[in-house]
Structure 1
């Protein structure tokens, strides 16, 4: 049986490793559908065709038009990683103007298992809204991988790509996806 994973990425350095993450998820039995924030799509614009070929589905960063058929199957799990300060707060506040935040918010109402791994520096993490947003997402059932066992913030300008724990994120998706009735 095919398991469908929505992999959503914000514009943070680890997005440049998304092809390897897709391959790893596929080796774990996931059929991956890749969604990006508009800025993340701009960052990896030269790779969009290759990423679509890798997943076998179009990469999305915009909502479909009314009346258009959906090109993705329903999700069995959703992983939002890296998820930036802006995306965490938009999602938690229910601001669905962006495709990724809107679909992630809807996944909560559908009962889809959701894992999120923020990628935020220590200065942004100190903003009071950030912890409130993480609390809202946790309260809605999101497995938030933040701090020990997830992403640990560094100083502004620190290299996040090399230390972003993608394996922990995929392991959490496997656990959450396996627990789904």
Structure 2
């Protein structure tokens, strides 16, 4: 946990992928701050182009990570107490479940399993992609790894307005009981 203003705060990594709703990540950041979390954002290389990185830095106080740091460089983010993958794409879900760690985002997710870091995922994809048999198998594997799976139902391909069904706060709702017990962060961990 990080300590800010003398009070410990749990640290949340938000992994953002290249999906149409990714630009709304500020909603999750704001909700996390309101619930007492400090936040750092890791974007997939393609997801980085979907964000306003300067706005994210202004809200979190941390750089948006997308690439591996070089040996000897300090870690720009504290270790996570939990991870929210929102939005998660078809590609990320399948690669993560298969143990592919070819980006910082995927490497972080693969390591989180071994480290026992509670992780929630909110997939965002169209129904045509979701119909592929690999996707259902990947979600089953992630659930078997203890990943908390939420998110809206897949939307029709090419549909507009699907962004309205994406409930960013669901990631926090999924995470808080496993991280803090049924009552959320202790009073000293909020604010």
Q: Is the shorter-chain TM-score for this pair beyond 0.5, marking a shared fold?
A: yes
CA–CA distance in structure 1, aligned partners of residues 130 and 24 of structure 2 = 23
Moved over 3 A (4+): none
Unaligned runs of 5+ in 1: none
- 1:24 is matched with 31
Find the residue that maps to 2:129 and give its secondary structure: helix
Question: Once the 2 structures are TM-superposed, how far is the Cα of residue 23 of structure 1 from its aligned partner?
Answer: 1.0
- 2:20 is matched with 13
TM-score of the pair, normalised by structure 2: 0.87
- 1:134 is matched with 139
- 1:70 is matched with 75
Larger Rg over CA atoms: 2
CA–CA distance in structure 2, aligned partners of residues 93 and 125 of structure 1 = 16
CA–CA distance in structure 2, aligned partners of residues 9 and 50 of structure 1 = 14
Aligned residue runs from structure 1 range 117-132, under 5 A = 117-132=122-137
Question: Once the 2 structures are TM-superposed, how far is the Cα of residue 167 of structure 1 from its aligned partner?
Answer: 2.2
Q: CA RMSD in A?
A: 1.3
Residue pair 1:77, 1:176 contacting (<8 A) in 2 also: no
CA–CA distance in structure 2, aligned partners of residues 160 and 69 of structure 1 = 39
> Aligned residues, how many?
174
Deviations 1:123-163 (A, max 9, x none): 11110110111111111110111xxxx31111101233111
TM-score of the pair, normalised by structure 1: 0.92
CA–CA distance in structure 2, aligned partners of residues 37 and 171 of structure 1 = 23
Deviations 1:100-131 (A, max 9, x none): 11101100100000101111111111101101
Question: Once the 2 structures are TM-superposed, how far is the Cα of residue 67 of structure 1 from its aligned partner?
Answer: 1.7
Deviations 1:8-64 (A, max 9, x none): 1111122111112101110100000101111111122xx212211210111011111
- 2:152 is matched with 151
- 1:58 is matched with 63
CA–CA distance in structure 2, aligned partners of residues 20 and 136 of structure 1 = 28
Unaligned runs of 5+ in 2: 1-7, 185-191
